[in-house]
Amino acid sequence: MIHGDTRRFRQAAALLPPALRGPLERLDQSAQARAEELRLRAGRPPSLVLPEGERGIPGCSGPIRPQDLGMVLEVATQASAHTALSQVREGFFTLRGGHRMGICGTGVVKEGAVCNLRHISSLSLRIAHEAPGAAVPVLDRLWVGRRLANTLILSPPGWGKTTLLRDLIRLLSDGSARPALRVGVADERGELAGMWNGVPQFDIGRQTDVMDGCPKNVGLLMLLRGMNPQVLSADEITAPEDIEALELASNCGVALVCTAHAAGLEDLRRRPLYRRLLDRGIFGRVVTIRLEEGVRRYTVTPLEEGPC
- pLDDT digits 0-9 by tens, 237-261: 999 999 999 999 999 999 999 999 9
Buried b (16+ CB within 10 A) or exposed e, 151-182: bbbbbeeebbbbbbbbbbbbbbbbebeeeebb
Quote the CA–CA distance of 151 and 74 in Å, as a whole number: 41
Rounded to an integer, the average pLDDT of 152-169 is 92
C-alpha to C-alpha distance for 27 and 13, rounded to whole angstroms: 11
pLDDT of residue 87: 61
pLDDT at res. 5: 65
pLDDT of residue 100 exceeding 80: yes
Whether residue 176 is predicted with pLDDT greater than 90 in this model: the reply is no
pLDDT over 50 (residue 127): yes
Least confident span in 31-35, 214-218, 262-266, 277-281 = 277-281
**What pTM was computed for the model?**
0.79
Which residue in 229, 248, 230, 232 sits closest to 240, CA to CA?
248
Range scoring the smallest mean pLDDT among 59-63, 198-202, 281-285: 59-63
